[in-house]
């Protein structure tokens, strides 16, 4: 470390790594991982989403899992929550759709309407 700038750079690099432990204002993806979800292939979808995020260098996204929400026929179900936006629920998300959601919704802020099954009502 030869300067404050060097410190700053190392901080930024590592911050991505531990952001999971501290931040709360980042984009969140929740993937249904109940029995129906797993059976429908949610694991593969999740791995594809993670891979796409890595490729796009979007390291600040939080990914969590949840159980069955009751709409088993539409599994794998993926919820996308961009900060300040209502939560969006996507259905029948296979690995390929998962990747497209990452690129379009998370990176480019354009939700993909045809796959949406619900948008959170905040009124």
Partner 1 sequence: MEFYRSHILVCSGTGCHASGSISLKQALESEIARVGLDKEVKVVETGCFGFCRFGPNMMVYPEGVFYCQVQEADVPELVEEHLVKGRVVERLLYREPETEAAIVDFEEIPFFSKQTRVVLENCGIINPESINEYIARDGYFGLAKALEMKPEEVIEVIKKSGLRGRGGAGFPTGLKWEFAAKAEGSPKYVVCNADEGDPGAFMDRSTIEGDPHKLLEGMIICGYAIGASQGYVYVRAEYPLAVERLHKAIEDARALGLLGKNILNSGFDFDIDIRLGAGAFVCGEETALLNSVMGGRGEPRPRPPFPANEGLWGKPTVINNVETFANVPVILRKGPEWLAGIGTEKSKGTKVFALAGNINNNGLAEVPMGTTIGEIVFDIGGGLPDGKKFKAVQTGGPSGGCIPVEYLNTPVDYESLAELGTIMGSGGFVVMDEDTCMVDLAKFFLEFVQSESCGKCAPCRIGTKRMLEILQRITRGEGREGDIELLVELGESIKQSALCGLGQSAPNPVLSTIKYFREEYEIHIKDKKCPASVCAALFDAPCQNTCPAHVDVPIYVDLIRQGRYDEAYEEILRENPFPVVCGRVCHHPCESRCRRAQLDEAVAIRELKRFASDYAVSRHGSRPRLAVKAPTGKKVAVVGAGPAGLTAAYYLALQGHAVTVFEALPVAGGMLAVGIPKYRLPKEALNHDIDVIKSLGVNIRTGVKVGEDISWERIREDYDAVFVAIGAHKDRAMGIPGEDLDGVVPGVIFLRDLNLGKPVDLTGKKVVVVGGGNVAMDAARSARRLGAEKVTVVYRRRREDMPAEPEEIKAASEEGIAIEPMVNPVAILGDGKVEKVRCVRMVSGEFDSSGRRRTYPVEGSEFDIECDVFIAAIGQNPESDVLKDTGLNINRDGTFAVDPRTMETGIPGVFAAGDCVTGPATVVEAIEGGKKAAAAINQYLGGSPDVVPRSKHIRKLTAPVIEEKMPRVVARCLSVEDRVNSFVEVELGYDAREAQREAQRCLRCDVKE
Dist. CA 85–CA 61, nearest whole Å: 15
Question: In terms of CB distance, is 31 or 80 closer to partner 1?
Answer: 31
Does 83 contact partner 1 by CB under 8 A? no
Does 71 contact partner 1 by CB under 8 A? no
Does 62 contact partner 1 by CB under 8 A? yes
Question: In terms of CB distance, is 22 or 123 closer to partner 1?
Answer: 22
3-state DSSP assignment of residue 1: coil
Which residues are bridge partners to 80 per DSSP?
A: 29, 88
Q: Of 63, 71, 72, 103, which one interacts with partner 1 (CB under 8 A)?
A: 63
Rg of the chain (C-alpha set): 16
């Amino acid at each position: 470390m030869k300067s404050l700038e060097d410190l700053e750079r190392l901080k930024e690099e590592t911050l991505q790594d531990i952001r999971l432990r501290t931040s709360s204002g980042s984009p969140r993806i929740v993937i249904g991982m109940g029995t129906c979800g797993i059976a429908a292939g949610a694991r593969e979808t999740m791995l594809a989403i993670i891979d796409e995020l890595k490729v796009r260098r979007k390291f600040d996204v939080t990914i969590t899992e949840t159980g069955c929400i009751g709409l088993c026929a539409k599994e794998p179900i993926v919820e996308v929550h961009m900060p300040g936006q209502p939560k969006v629920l996507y259905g029948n998300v296979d690995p390929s759709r998962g990747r497209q959601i990452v690129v379009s919704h998370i990176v480019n802020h354009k939700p993909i309407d045809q796959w949406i099954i619900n948008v959170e009502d905040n009124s």
